[in-house]
Amino acid sequence: MGLIARAIEEAGIATLSMSSARDITRAVNPPRSSLLDYPLGHTSGRPGQPEHNVEILRQALAGFASLTEPGSMIHQPFHWSEDDHWKDKVFMPVEKSVDGEGGGGYADDRVQRLPTPQFQTAHDVEAAAASHENEECLVCVGIDF
């Protein structure tokens, strides 16, 4: 994503990457980024907590004003849990991975990844459908592909 973000920036459009993997974000070097120290896949917070999700997004978007040096990163102040024990599992080898490979560690308890969009609420489904009426995405208006 860093390469894409830099190309978009060169075209004159400011970008901000949201991440939950500091080392990966530093490696790809996006122009500006917001780090949330949560498990991968939770870059905007936990599902079902819309107020918290909005606050995470607000703090990330503040980076457009405050991150003036190339490669700058905001570290969000939120914590996944009282301690960092959730990280212990992240660095252990898995007993069985999604593709059936792996070697002795914890059992793979990740949520299945699907090729189709997944929504938290019926309202989200309706909003997505409305934004893509007539095959024109209201988010993507003005972007040449």
For residue range 92-118, list pLDDT tens digits in order: 665 555 555 555 555 656 667 777 777
Beta bridge partners of 35: 19, 75
In a domain, 143, yes or no: no
Q: How many residues does the chain have?
A: 145
Question: The pTM is what?
Answer: 0.62
Mean pLDDT of all residues in 124-132: 81
- Convert the pLDDT of each residue in 41-53 to its tens digit: 899 999 999 999 9
Q: Which domain holds residue 70?
A: 2-110
Residue 101 falls inside a structural domain: yes
In a domain, 141, yes or no: no
Determine, yes or no, domain membership for 136. Answer: no
Q: Write the DSSP assignment of 51-112 as a string of letters.
A: HHHHHHHHHHHTHHHH--STTEEEE----SSSSSTHHHHHTSPBSS-TTS---SSB---PPP
Number of domains in the chain: 1
Is residue 131 domain-resident? no
Q: Is residue 17 part of a domain?
A: yes
Q: What is the pLDDT of residues 58-96, one digit of tens each?
A: 999 999 999 989 899 999 999 998 888 878 766 666 555
Q: Considering the domain boundaries, does residue 30 fall inside one?
A: yes
pLDDT of res. 112: 72
Give 133 or 46, the one with higher predicted confidence: 46
**CA of residue 118 relative to chain centroid, distance:** 15
In a domain, residue 37? The reply is yes
Determine how many CB atoms are found less than 10 A away from the CB of residue 32: 22
Q: What does the pLDDT read at residue 145? A: 44
Residue predicted with more confidence, 121 or 52: 52
pLDDT for residue 130: 80
